[in-house]
Structure 1
Amino acid sequence: MDIGVVLPTAPAGANLVDDVVALAREAADSGLRSAWFAQLFNYDAIALAAVVGREVPDLAVGTSVVPVYGRHPLTVAAAAQTAQAATHGRFTLGLGLGAKAFVEPVYGVSHERPARHLREFLTALGEVLTTGNTDFAGETLTARTPLPASLPGASPTPVLVAAMAPRALRVAAELADGILPYLAGPRALGEHIVPALHQADRRHRVVAAVPVVVTDDVAAARAAAAEQFAFYNTIPSYQRVIGLSGVDEAADLVVIGDEDAVAAELRRYLDAGATELVATQTDLLGERDRLRTWTLLGELAKEVSE
């Protein structure tokens, strides 16, 4: 069982890519097994994962996540295969639907029928990644390869979906290798998400993305979390999973405390069915607590692999 981390990507030095590569080396030295990248508007997450995976061969890399809206399965497949070849098989493609507020006013496309769009996107993408070709015409997209699209050196790319709602989970169970739930607590995972996913015949990866901060200043971390995570309280899909987790607000799902308290809470995610953990927001209170958090995560990664 792997424990990884979403690497911070806030501009700090003269070159963001150089800074992230340095952080990735630090993560590997801490004992973490994987590095993940959220898609923002100032860099490409798949490209950044490819660079980091190439530069830091001790880490698996992945995206958490690339929204499917504003992108096409053919271009995503090409980028994913490039990353897979660059990392010699250590890349995982994480996809998500994205929030409506960051789709319609940004890309000028409709966010309607998201489960249907996800199904069609994954169908076309999967055909390209497995056969090198697709001839797909759906209700929300068309994808046809005029030339073979397989890439020498790119082993089959695992695809995860940030699915938590029932329809999206059904699509992920059928067409993906697993899921990347975020802000889904152990109760939501164990009672709702994992059972729905595993209704399919095969077992899937459940890579739980969990905000984690090891700190002595719990009050300050709680205050920072309340401010930073307030946005998720306004999104219906997150409102649902927050409620299923048995808490009132997204910030209540940030794992905060000393080493013993955090380790105990993370084990609850494993008990609930997570096959892997990815820590996010580890720098919520700054560098000192990030280093402390990564040290604990590295120790846990070693513990659970023994």
Structure 2
Amino acid sequence: MRHRISLHLTGSTAAELVTAARACEDAGIYSLIASELYTNPFVPLAAVAASTSRIGLGTGIALAFVRSPLSLALEALDMDALTGGRFTLGLGTGVKTLNEQWHGVTDFSPPVAHMREVVAFVRLFNANAHLGKPIHFDGRFVKVHMEGYQRPLTPARERIPIHLGANRSKMLELAGEVADGVLGHVFVSPRQLRDEVLPAIGRGLAKAGRPRSEFMVGAGITCAIDDDRETARHHARGPLAFYSTVRTYEPLFAADGFASEVAAIRAAFQSGDKKRAVTLVTDDMVDTYCAAGTPDEVLRKVAEYDDLLDIKGVSPPRHFCPPDAHEAYRARILEVFANA
């Protein structure tokens, strides 16, 4: 398989989740991820664990700072057991508003140091919880002291892979140093991967004395496949318009020369003219960040990431895209990338 393709797990009922997961597994999709926004990231994965046998399942991402480190470590162990060792723990920091105003977590900065402690504790607990050894961790953010605890379950694996959601250099370096992989943003250009992301990961790997072969680099690619290329490209503009309104991601777009375009899109969105915001997404932006067009065009575009990504997280357009069109794009992804 040339492409390791990852998709988001979708469905509003257990039956829908299982049907979607089985279809992806039958198509040879490498992995499914569940995010933390409208749902808990672990529950949908647990719902499909027993109904699949080969496809990887992972959080993409679970918020690292809004749950206790012990709860997080237990969730990872439980998921790896339910999946028979197919689980990947994807962790992210979340933006400031999400942590402070949504979850009431105010003491979480600096996030890189905090994430380092969370990863270290999860590793420590998962390696020792079943052995009955004392578990002590006395960090700035993570403080856990456990005596006389022994989990009566043998872990599925000695080490559960941990991937970090990372966009900026310091978190990318941390991922290279302490994690097993990176989950990059849905809009990261090949140039950014080549010039910024991979070098930062490389610095982290070098610090830890680890080879690149031990690390998985993944990122998102908005993917719209339609025999009518203009329809596909129109729908690909929607997610770009939405993410252009998020100030956290402004530097990513500016680094590729789209600062003025993003400012105009944001102004239109804030004025309430969402339709205009979508139309302000330029052809160059679609070409830079998306794989949108006919099947052959999309395959050629995704192939540009062959030397940059180990896992390609293709995502059908959702923002400003009709639900039936979203589902049609998802079906075309399975069709075009089946056992690719």
TM-score tier after normalising by the smaller chain length: 0.7 to 0.9
Cα distance in structure 2, aligned partners of 1:135 and 1:112: 22
Q: List per-residue Cα deviations over 1:30-86 (Å, max 9, x = no partner).
A: 221221111234x32223223323211131111111111211221111011111111
Matched, 1:233 2:233: no
Residues 8/213 of structure 1: CA separation in 2 closer, same or farther (3 Å cut):
farther
Cα distance in structure 2, aligned partners of 1:236 and 1:170: 23
**Structure 1 residue 114 displacement after superposition:** 1.5
Residues 218/67 of structure 1: CA separation in 2 closer, same or farther (3 Å cut):
farther
**Structure 1 residue 219 displacement after superposition:** 4.0
Q: 1:214 aligns with which of 219, 225, 230?
A: 225
Cα distance in structure 1, aligned partners of 2:44 and 2:314: 18
Q: 2:171 aligns with which of 168, 173, 181?
A: 168
Q: List per-residue Cα deviations over 1:143-190 (Å, max 9, x = no partner).
A: 333423584142121000011211111221121111010221211111
Cα distance in structure 2, aligned partners of 1:237 and 1:149: 40
- Match of residue 278 from structure 1: 313
Residues 126/291 of structure 1: CA separation in 2 closer, same or farther (3 Å cut):
same
Matched, 1:262 2:298: yes
Q: 1:154 aligns with which of 149, 156, 167?
A: 156
- Match of residue 275 from structure 2: none
Cα distance in structure 2, aligned partners of 1:68 and 1:19: 28
- Match of residue 268 from structure 2: none
- Match of residue 292 from structure 1: 332
Q: List per-residue Cα deviations over 1:6-43 (Å, max 9, x = no partner).
A: 1234x3xxxx22211111111122221221111234x3
Letter in 2 for 1:81: L
Bigger mean CA offset, 215-224 vs 190-199: 215-224
Q: 1:189 aligns with which of 185, 189, 193?
A: 193
Q: Secondary structure at the match of 1:270?
A: coil
Q: Spell out the pairing of 1:1-306 with structure 2 (5 A cutoff).
A: 2-9=4-11, 11=12, 16-41=13-38, 43-110=39-106, 111-132=108-129, 134-146=135-147, 147-149=149-151, 151-155=153-157, 156-182=159-185, 183-199=187-203, 200=205, 201-202=209-210, 203=212, 204-245=215-256, 247=258, 252=286, 253-271=289-307, 273-281=308-316, 284=321, 285-300=325-340
**Structure 1 residue 236 displacement after superposition:** 4.4
Letter in 1 for 2:6: G
Cα distance in structure 2, aligned partners of 1:246 and 1:232: 16
Cα distance in structure 2, aligned partners of 1:276 and 1:166: 20
Cα distance in structure 2, aligned partners of 1:175 and 1:143: 20
Cα distance in structure 2, aligned partners of 1:74 and 1:233: 36
Q: Secondary structure at the match of 2:221?
A: strand
Letter in 2 for 1:76: L
Contact 1:282 1:293 (8 Å CA) reproduced = no
Q: List per-residue Cα deviations over 1:67-126 (Å, max 9, x = no partner).
A: 112112211110111111111111111111112222211111125321121112112112
Cα distance in structure 2, aligned partners of 1:277 and 1:220: 23
Contact 2:7 2:314 (8 Å CA) reproduced = yes
Letter in 2 for 1:265: K
Higher relative contact order (CA 8 A, sep 6+): 1
Contact 1:186 1:245 (8 Å CA) reproduced = no
Cα distance in structure 1, aligned partners of 2:119 and 2:256: 28
Cα distance in structure 1, aligned partners of 2:247 and 2:145: 34
Contact 2:227 2:295 (8 Å CA) reproduced = no
Please give the TM-score of this superposition, normalised by the length of structure 2.
0.78
What are the ranges of 5 or more consecutive residues in structure 2 without an aligned counterpart?
A: 263-280
**Structure 1 residue 231 displacement after superposition:** 4.0
Contact 1:124 1:134 (8 Å CA) reproduced = no
Contact 1:47 1:83 (8 Å CA) reproduced = no
- Match of residue 304 from structure 1: none
Residues 186/38 of structure 1: CA separation in 2 closer, same or farther (3 Å cut):
same
CA-based RMSD of the aligned residues comes to 2.4
Please give the TM-score of this superposition, normalised by the length of structure 1.
0.86
Letter in 1 for 2:29: L
Contact 1:27 1:294 (8 Å CA) reproduced = yes
Letter in 2 for 1:255: A
Residues 298/150 of structure 1: CA separation in 2 closer, same or farther (3 Å cut):
farther
